[in-house]
């Protein structure tokens, strides 16, 4: 039976790594709603043109258009074992609509929530420093330069991009939790939520994920 996984997890929890692993180990195709939009628009499919007409007006693409794209993608042969959905659904209403559509494919829908405490996520996703001359990469915890603020290789000054600053990262993580909480609660209530401790090392997260999916 095909398995459709709604993959949820804040920035820094290793969602990308884990979905790559699921693709290799159980043959699930990774479907990102953003990529689906881009492909459909690029190939000028009917759904792509429709989506573009909303995007051009600065409006959100309606759920039924997105779901139609997902439906079309899932019906391709490479999705016979199932798929990992990334970026959709984002709300309980979208989750219900998706569930109705996936019912046609007689597969099971599972929501997997890989999560960790904010402090862990911030530590993982911030603290990168780059050198001005050649972009050599350092990290304030895991890969310190010999002399603070100076590149070991070429002696140039180290700087931090906004995206790598603690405040920026913390804000991005908070926004994610706020926006995703209703969806997590929705899946928890209907009994379809698998929670994985993403603070563990990558291999352990993978093990937990695979054993939870077998159940
Ligand atoms: Zn350098």
Please indicate, yes or no, if residue 144 is contained in any of the structural domains.
no
- DSSP labels, 147-205: STTB-TTT-PBEE--GGGSHHHHHHHHHHHHHHHHHHHHHHHHTT-EEEEETTS-HHHH
Ligand 1 is an ion; residues with CB less than 5 A from it = 131, 134, 136, 151, 153-154
Cα distance between residue 67 and residue 2, in whole Å:
18
Please indicate, yes or no, if residue 210 is contained in any of the structural domains.
yes
Mark whether 141 is an active-site residue: no
User: 203 C-alpha to center of ligand 1: Å?
Assistant: 32
Domain with residue 10: its CATH number is: 3.40.50.300
User: 131 C-alpha to center of ligand 1: Å?
Assistant: 5
Per-residue pLDDT at 183: 96
Per-residue pLDDT at 107: 82
Q: What phi and psi, each to the nearest 5 degrees, are found at residue 159?
A: -140, 165
Mark whether 110 is an active-site residue: no
Please indicate, yes or no, if residue 127 is contained in any of the structural domains.
no
When divided into structural domains, the chain yields a total of 1
> What's the pTM?
0.84
Range of the domain at 74: 2-116+176-214
Please indicate, yes or no, if residue 83 is contained in any of the structural domains.
yes
Please indicate, yes or no, if residue 81 is contained in any of the structural domains.
yes
Per-residue pLDDT of the chain (215 residues; tens, 9 = 90+): 888 999 999 999 999 899 989 888 888 999 999 899 999 999 999 999 999 999 999 998 999 999 999 999 999 999 988 999 998 999 999 999 999 988 888 888 899 999 999 999 999 889 899 999 999 999 998 899 999 999 999 999 999 999 899 999 999 999 999 999 999 999 999 988 999 999 999 999 999 999 999 88
85 DSSP β-pair partners: 6, 31
User: 141 C-alpha to center of ligand 1: Å?
Assistant: 18
Mark whether 188 is an active-site residue: no
Helix/strand/coil for 109 = strand
Helix ranges (H only) for the chain are 15-26, 33-42, 46-56, 63-74, 92-103, 118-125, 166-189, 202-214
Please indicate, yes or no, if residue 122 is contained in any of the structural domains.
no
Query: Which residue among the candidates 15, 73, 110, 124 is catalytic per the annotation?
Result: 15
Please indicate, yes or no, if residue 126 is contained in any of the structural domains.
no
Per-residue pLDDT at 215: 80
User: 157 C-alpha to center of ligand 1: Å?
Assistant: 8
Per-residue pLDDT at 207: 95
Query: Which residue among the candidates 52, 71, 90, 165 is catalytic per the annotation?
Result: 90
Please indicate, yes or no, if residue 85 is contained in any of the structural domains.
yes
Query: Which residue among the candidates 161, 174, 188, 207 is catalytic per the annotation?
Result: 161
Q: At what angle do helices 202-214 and 15-26 cross, to 10 degrees?
A: 50
């Amino acid at each position: 039976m095909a398995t459709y996984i709604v993959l949820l997890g804040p920035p820094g929890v290793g969602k990308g790594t884990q979905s790559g692993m699921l693709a290799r180990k159980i043959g699930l195709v990774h479907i990102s709603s953003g990529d689906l939009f881009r492909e459909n628009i690029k190939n000028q499919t009917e759904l792509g043109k429709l989506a573009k007409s909303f995007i051009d007006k600065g409006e959100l693409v309606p759920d039924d258009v997105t779901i139609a794209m997902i439906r079309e993608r899932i019906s391709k042969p490479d999705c016979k074992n199932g798929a990992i959905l990334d970026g959709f659904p984002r709300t309980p209403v979208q989750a219900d609509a998706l569930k109705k559509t996936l019912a046609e494919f007689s597969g099971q829908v599972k929501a997997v929530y890989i999560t960790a405490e904010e402090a862990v996520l911030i530590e993982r996703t911030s603290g990168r420093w780059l050198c001005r001359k050649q972009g050599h990469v350092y990290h304030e915890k895991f890969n310190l330069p010999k002399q603070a603020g100076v590149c070991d290789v070429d002696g140039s000054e180290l700087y931090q991009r906004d995206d790598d600053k603690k405040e920026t990262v913390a804000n991005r993580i908070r926004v994610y939790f706020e926006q995703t909480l209703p969806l997590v609660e929705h899946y928890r209530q209907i009994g379809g939520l698998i929670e994985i401790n993403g603070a563990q090392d990558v291999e352990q997260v993978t093990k937990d994920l695979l054993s939870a999916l077998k159940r």
